[in-house]
Amino acid sequence: MKLKKEYFILAAILVALILYLALHRSNRTHYQLPELSEVTGKHISKLEITTAGNSIIFNQKDNTWKIEPKGYRADSTKIKNMLNVIEKLKLTALVSESKNYIRYDLSNDKNIHVKAWQSKTLLREFDIGKTAPTYKHTFVKIPDDPNVYHARGDFRRNFDRSVNDFRDKTVLSYAQNTIQGIKLTHEEKTISLSRKEIPETLPEKKDAPAAKASKETKTKTVWEDTKGHEVAPFKVSSLLSFLNSLECERYLDDLKKEDFKNPIYSVTLKGEKEYSLLVFAKKDENAKNYSAISSENESPFSLSDTQVDTIKSKFDEILNVKEI
């Protein structure tokens, strides 16, 4: 009887322990996460991102995102990444109720405050903190709620940028297959090229019946200078490919196009319209960038040494053309 009583007591203790652990765990995880309203990224027409009191405002005009108040064209990919985060924002766990925001970079001097509107209607508002140690979540806070939450994804870097970082750095872009004429100048040396389509005769097929045997023709593209010298098509294609969708290092908004004279490199392309790029000598030989201007951008900008060295090498290949 005594042994049975001890077994009964041990069983009761074990049951109590199991119930305690189960209830304790339930108390820790049983909470209601806030439900965020649905937002569709394509409906958003205005964004505001504020960091340490400094705001960047984006407005969509004629299907193009502009950075206000200057109206700079924004990088469409970077805007798309932000809209994707805003649309898919999902809270996955409660992290803290302590109101200790410093440890999560959610204090006013560290957080990124995001607002998104459709016309005048505020669709989404939240604060972004630092990335969680897992790198799979980001600490966030939502309005009228003192708690800190995990949001799915590592996305702070999509918003943590300057105006210059958000700007579209593309300074020259065109449909390459529409270019019919090219003029290149390097200091005192100039060459003009024109694109021509000439017929190319193919050899007869040996196995074709005699009655049906005929010479097939098609055209090939050639580039010629004003003296009729041909330039290898791959050299021209290589230059056009490099210049197409060319991106600058940064914009020189404190300068005007009129401030620049006597380019060391210039290229003019004739296609659907005329495109131009002018590169200027460094004022300081220790400078790491070259100043440049383009017909496709209102602001002067800088190109890296590497970019200009590539332009130089492709120019030289063409400027040293020989009759073939």
315 and 174 co-located in one domain: yes
Q: Do 190 and 273 fall within a single domain?
A: yes
Do both 146 and 175 map to the same domain? no
Contacts of residue 106, Cβ cutoff 8 Å, sequence gap at least 6: 127, 129, 139, 140, 141, 148
Structural domain contains residue 79: yes
| 143 and 182 share one domain | no
pLDDT in tens, 104-124: 999 999 999 999 999 999 999
- Do 121 and 177 share a domain, yes or no? no
Residue 20 CA neighbour count, 13 Å, CB half = 6
β-bridge pairing 121-131 and 274-279: unpaired
In a domain, 174, yes or no: yes
Which pLDDT value is given to residue 28? 45
According to the model, what pLDDT value does residue 216 have?
Answer: 61
Q: How far apart are CA 314 and CA 244, in angstroms?
A: 14
Contact (Cβ atoms closer than 8 angstroms) between residue 31 and residue 149: no
Contact 56, 72 (CB under 8 A): no
Q: Quick one: pLDDT at residue 25?
A: 44
* Residue 248 resides in a domain: yes
Asked whether residue 47 is assigned to any structural domain, the reply reads yes
- The answer as to whether 260 is a domain residue is yes
Q: Please indicate, yes or no, whether residues 266 and 287 belong to a single structural domain of this protein.
A: yes
Regarding whether 175 and 162 lie in a shared domain, the answer is: no
What residue numbers bound the domain in which 196 lies? Answer: 170-200+219-319
pLDDT surpasses 50 at 125: yes
Mean pLDDT of 200-212: 59
- Of 156-165, 284-293, 294-303, the range with the lowest mean pLDDT is 284-293
Q: Does residue 140 sit within a domain? A: yes
pLDDT on residue 324: 36
Interval 12-63: pLDDT, tens: 676 666 655 555 444 444 568 999 999 999 999 999 999 999 999 999 998 8
Closest C-alpha to 315, from 250, 226, 242, 230: 242
- Is pLDDT at 6 greater than 90 in this prediction? no
